[in-house]
Structure 1
Amino acid sequence: MLARTTLVARPATPSFSALGQTRNMATLREIQARLKSVTNISKITASMKMIASTKTTRAQRAMNVARIYGKVSNDFVKQTDVKKAGEAKELLVTVSSDKGLCGGIHSSLSRQSRKFLAENPEAPLVILGDKAKAQLQRSYPNNIKYTFNQLGSSVPTFDEASVVASTVLNDKDLEFDNAKLMYNRFVSAIAFETDAIEYYPINQIVEAPNFKSYEFQEDVLQNLNEFLFANNLHWALVEGHASEMGAKRTAMENATKNANDMINRLSLQYNRGRQAVITNELIDIITGASAL
């Protein structure tokens, strides 16, 4: 009876070979599911890279036009030889965007903005874009006067910049002597630099030493003041948009490359595991046939 009980109870305990096969099958199933997931991600990132490449070309064309107008207006200000006052109250305008998946382009801009605010803790802050807002409002919530979003969903336009400029300049409570527009300057399709554009109000430009060489009517000066601010703002927006599209293209290219590398590793791991399962099954068949 004892021997019969032992013989009956023994097959209920799985053998080491069965445990190994079950574990391998579960592992192969997990690898196969992960391989399918990474393959889908690779297809998505490749499509986003292609879209970003098209948008980068379009953004560069708009940037080249805006850069011409921006440099001409800034050369005019430089030729007047306007100087910044010693204790001037500065306004910081951080030109960002609402979208992510473009590397550290927003972090670099927020880092330079925090550095400026650390040196000028009383400076009012205007933020364009939700990404910079989320990073700056934790450190300097009391400095924020205006925030704008939904700008540059496609290529930024001069009308959008004009609305922002009118809102800032028409606010009587927002007093500043000059403004610094912090933005990402487009260098190439794979590189950008955080830069700043200086804006001087028209009353300081009129008092500049070399302004007398220009002839202006009094009623034109206010319009010129708004145009200079809106033009600089549009230039910064378009440069930032081109830099963002270039950074997004690079980020999606790197993501696709990493996904393909992971697919190769998972495929190799899956094939090795599958081959091991087949080998174990063949060994069991051959061992059983030899025993018979």
Structure 2
Amino acid sequence: MSRGKLRSVKARIQSTSSLMKITRAMEMVARARVRKLEESFSRVKKFAAAVEAIREHVDFSSCEHPFVTGKGDPILIVITSDMGLCGAFNAEILREAERRLKDFSGLITIGSKATAHFSKNKKLIRSYQRMYDVPSLNLAGTLMEDVLKITGNIHVIYAKFINRLVQRPVLLQLAPITLGKKIERYEYEPESEKLAANFVSFYVATKLYSLLFETKVSEMYARQNAMRNATENAKEMIRILTLDYNKARQASITQELIEIVTGAEALKEQ
């Protein structure tokens, strides 16, 4: 191996080492952020479960709210991240969205990756990007009100958090809401129709809030895993390049020694 090639391999080792420092730092940042997010997500899940329990006791039988009747064309909401560097996280969500989109009349995207992917799609009605770092109920309420102006028939594709290593895109019916298995009769204040109409908007906003939060947690775990894998791959690449460099350098030194000895022998003969 020539000296030029040796310098090239050494430069690759140095650039890979620099890249490894970046991926390790990004993994540490993702780990710190996801720890805080997961603590909040635990509280969000409890909150969403309590709202779900209330739904079982609300009488929707005479409610004409669009989120109950499902009035309007079916719309698909796709939630992705605003940033990349999280492995196949966004690609899997977008692949599932492409597969399901034929069943819907319109599309709403949340996240820069979904917006960029579907920017030229004729079904795209509205897009939201870089709206939040951590989801909030106020944001979910705003999104709910925007969607309500369009339709009451909504499905969402989001990233379901299975565990720290697995996050899976899932299609969920957000509205029309499914009625409870067992409706218990209560006396309501205000009247049951007004209470149901007010509650259903709150319920859909809460569900959307929970889905946004779960997708965010899944994104951060996907990024943490991707950066850890990138760091491990960089380590392996450095090991292989260093081994090749040392072998080539040793071969180059051996060749130089052979040339020196050969030259010395030739001088002796002369």
Q: Which residue of 2 aligns with 1:156?
A: 135
Tell me if the contact between 2:56 and 2:183 (Cα under 8 Å) persists in the aligned partners. Answer: no
Tell me if the contact between 1:38 and 1:263 (Cα under 8 Å) persists in the aligned partners. Answer: yes
The change in CA–CA distance for 1:165 and 1:86 in structure 2 (over 3 A counts) is: closer
In the alignment, is residue 108 of structure 1 matched against residue 92 of structure 2?
yes
In the alignment, is residue 224 of structure 1 matched against residue 199 of structure 2?
yes
Question: What TM-score comes out, normalization by structure 1 length?
Answer: 0.79
Shift of 1:68: 1.8
- Per-residue CA shift, 1:145-172, capped at 9, x if unaligned? 211111332x212222222222222x2x
How many residues are treated as equivalent by the alignment? Answer: 259
- The amino acid of 2:223's aligned partner reads K
Shift of 1:86: 9.9
Tell me if the contact between 1:187 and 1:193 (Cα under 8 Å) persists in the aligned partners. Answer: yes
Q: Which residue of 2 aligns with 1:134?
A: 116
Percent of aligned pairs with the same amino acid:
29
Tell me if the contact between 2:60 and 2:179 (Cα under 8 Å) persists in the aligned partners. Answer: yes
Q: Which residue of 1 aligns with 2:34?
A: 56
5+ long unaligned stretches in structure 2: 62-67
RMSD between aligned residues: 2.8
Q: Which residue of 1 aligns with 2:125?
A: 145
The change in CA–CA distance for 1:184 and 1:46 in structure 2 (over 3 A counts) is: same
- The amino acid of 1:98's aligned partner reads D
Question: What TM-score comes out, normalization by structure 2 length?
Answer: 0.85
The change in CA–CA distance for 1:44 and 1:238 in structure 2 (over 3 A counts) is: same
Shift of 1:230: 1.4
- The amino acid of 2:151's aligned partner reads E
Secondary structure of 1:282's counterpart equals: helix
Secondary structure of 2:75's counterpart equals: strand
Tell me if the contact between 2:58 and 2:196 (Cα under 8 Å) persists in the aligned partners. Answer: no
Give me the whole-angstrom Cα distance separating, in 1, the residues matched to 2:174 and 2:54.
12
Shift of 1:85: 7.2
Q: Which residue of 2 aligns with 1:275?
A: 250
Q: Which residue of 1 aligns with 2:224?
A: 249
Structure 1 consecutive aligned stretches of length 4 or more whose deviation exceeds 3 Å: 74-89, 211-214, 218-223
Give me the whole-angstrom Cα distance separating, in 1, the residues matched to 2:107 and 2:24.
37
